[in-house]
Structure 1
Amino acid sequence: MSAIQTDRQEEEMKQKAQKMATQATTSIEKLRYQCLQRGAKGIKELGRSFRIMDDSGDRKLDLEEFSKGLHDYGVHLDNSEIENLFNDMDKDDNGSLNFDEFLKALRPPMSQARVNLIDQAFRKLDRTGDKVITVDDLRGLYNARYHPKYQNGELTENEVFQLFLKSFDSPSNPDAKVTWEEFLNYYSGVSASIDTDAYFDLMMRQAWKL
């Protein structure tokens, strides 16, 4: 995938999300489009901010943690909207929110055909099959030598690989590793800017040579 293609998708997504945010009628829609106004990384970054807050590691948050996480991320929802959102997502009424389920609900709706294409691309990149894309997975698959910054000597091959992975990573916590969840969250954002399955199919196949 080229940097130009990625930048164009990002801009289209932000513009569409800004428009949709003004039309949103539910708290989950308002939050979704506020995230997507930050680009394809928006939903993934929110997930990271919640994971940082999850000291116990149980992948659950109470209302206070949930509210603080949204405010720290810069979400513009009032306290009653946040409480209603929390209560709607707390399906078993136990006072805690499973944020894996929350992030799943936050993703823009996608057809199964789109999810299948995203999965194909991820599995092609994940050459070791360990459910994480790393620099080692990219060797022999992504040719760094065509990158202009490699050709002018500014970046090494490894640095080009890391730059590529950063496209899917969070600027606040880059780790040069991309999980299936991060990859899916990224492309759910891209998907939101593409109206037809046919165009999404063409874009994915061209980008990843599927």
Structure 2
Amino acid sequence: MEKLRRRLLESATKQSDFVETFTAIDREFDKKHNGQIDLSEFLQQLRPPMSERRQKAISNLFDSIDVNEDDQITIMDLKTKFADQLKPTKRRSSQNIDDALRHFLNKFNTPGQHDGIIDRAEFFGSCSMLSATIKEDIYFEHVLRSLFDFRFINK
């Protein structure tokens, strides 16, 4: 990002300078090398790196939800992990629960790839977006605990 900032500041009014600047921007942000910069690529480059403590908290959370330990979170993992909270009642059917869980999982999916399966990279990507909005590590852990009703296990 610092290179990008420097390049923009150094840009003069000559057209060749602008072309060079936008080429540098493209190289910096277009990680899929498809000639386009999508929102997720842009935001990935802007967010600050996470501390080791936050990475460990996210990893522990992922492991606690990945009940069958296949390195993916699916509807079945969520149903197993949160079985007591998800029991069908007169007001909510099994189908409504499945729809709600699918909707929840899609929040973590890579945009355009709503397959109902969240791998570790997708989970980390979503949590790192949250991390970028929270200043203190301890508060970040508190937010994760609150969102997922989770007690961190030291591994």
Provide the TM-score with structure 2 as the length reference: 0.64
Contact 1:27–1:82 at 8 Å: present in 2 too?
A: no
Matched, 1:192 2:132: yes
Matched, 1:164 2:141: no
Deviation at 1:163, TM superposition (A): 1.6
* Unaligned runs of at least 5 residues, structure 2: 6-17, 34-40
Identity percentage of aligned residues? 24
Task: Find the aligned partners of 2:120 and 2:76 in 1 and give their Cα distance.
Answer: 16
Go from structure 1 to structure 2 and tell me whether the alpha carbon gap of 1:121 and 1:81 turns closer, same or farther (over 3 Å shift). farther
Go from structure 1 to structure 2 and tell me whether the alpha carbon gap of 1:145 and 1:108 turns closer, same or farther (over 3 Å shift). farther
- Please name the residue that 2:113 is paired with: 173
CA RMSD for the aligned pairs? 3.5
Task: Find the aligned partners of 2:95 and 2:19 in 1 and give their Cα distance.
Answer: 47
Go from structure 1 to structure 2 and tell me whether the alpha carbon gap of 1:174 and 1:87 turns closer, same or farther (over 3 Å shift). closer
Task: Find the aligned partners of 1:158 and 1:108 in 2 and give their Cα distance.
Answer: 35
Letter in 1 for 2:86: A
Letter in 2 for 1:117: A
Go from structure 1 to structure 2 and tell me whether the alpha carbon gap of 1:164 and 1:79 turns closer, same or farther (over 3 Å shift). farther
Task: Find the aligned partners of 1:172 and 1:87 in 2 and give their Cα distance.
Answer: 23
Divergent runs of 4+, >6 A = none
* Unaligned runs of at least 5 residues, structure 1: 1-23, 29-77, 90-95, 97-101
Task: Identify the structure with bigger relative contact order (alpha carbons < 8 Å, sequence gap 6+).
Answer: 1
Provide the TM-score with structure 1 as the length reference: 0.49
Aligned pairs, number: 125
Rg comparison, structure with higher value: 2
1:114-125 alignment to 2 at 5 Å? 114-125=54-65
Deviation at 1:201, TM superposition (A): 1.6
Contact 2:66–2:73 at 8 Å: present in 1 too?
A: yes
